[in-house]
Amino acid sequence: MSIVRLANGADMSIKLGLDEVKAALSADSTDFVELPGEDGPVLVRPSAVIAVIEDAKRGTAGFRISASAAAG
């Protein structure tokens, strides 16, 4: 299992391992790639993927964004 983070902030659970997802997304194409999602196949444009994290144990992957309160 892998979690794919898209540029729009959405996360998708994919029924492939990390290496398999990376191989599928590395195709030299601007077309959509079909990946096996939890609820059926999903179409993803490789340029829209900003992160792929392996999720060996369901629910263990996560994304965090931190911002300083005193920025500036």
Establish if 40 belongs to a structural domain.
Answer: yes
* Domain span holding position 20: 2-54
Q: What pLDDT is stored for residue 31 in this prediction?
A: 86
DSSP at 16: S
In-domain check, residue 71: no
Query: What is the domain-level CATH number for residue 47?
Result: 2.30.30
Q: What is the DSSP string of 22-39?
A: HHHHTSS-SS-EEEEETT
Phi and psi at 57, nearest 5°, equal: -115, 120
Domain assignment present for 59: no
What's the number of domains the chain is made of?
A: 1
CA 12 to chain centre: 6
Task: Report the alpha-carbon distance of residue 56 to residue 72 in Å, rounded.
Answer: 39
pLDDT of residue 16: 92
User: Would residue 29 count as lying in a domain?
Assistant: yes
Angle at 57 between CA 55 and CA 61, to 5 degrees: 40
Instruction: Give per-10-residue mean pLDDT for the chain (72 aa).
Output: 91 92 82 91 92 72 52 48
